[in-house]
Amino acid sequence: KYSRAKVQLSTNMPKKTVKVVVVGNPANTNALICKKYAPSIPATNFSALTRLDQNRAQAQLAGKLGIAVESVSNVVIWGNHSSTQYPDPRNATAEVNGGTKGVYEAVQDDAW
Where in the sequence numbering do the catalytic residues fall? Answer: 81
89-104 in b/e form (b: 16+ CB < 10 A) is beebbbbbeeeebebe
Are 112 and 64 spatial neighbours (Cβ–Cβ below 8 Å)? yes
The C-alpha angle 44, 61, 87, rounded to 5 degrees, equals: 55
Of 19, 28, 5, which Cα lies nearest the Cα of 79?
Answer: 28
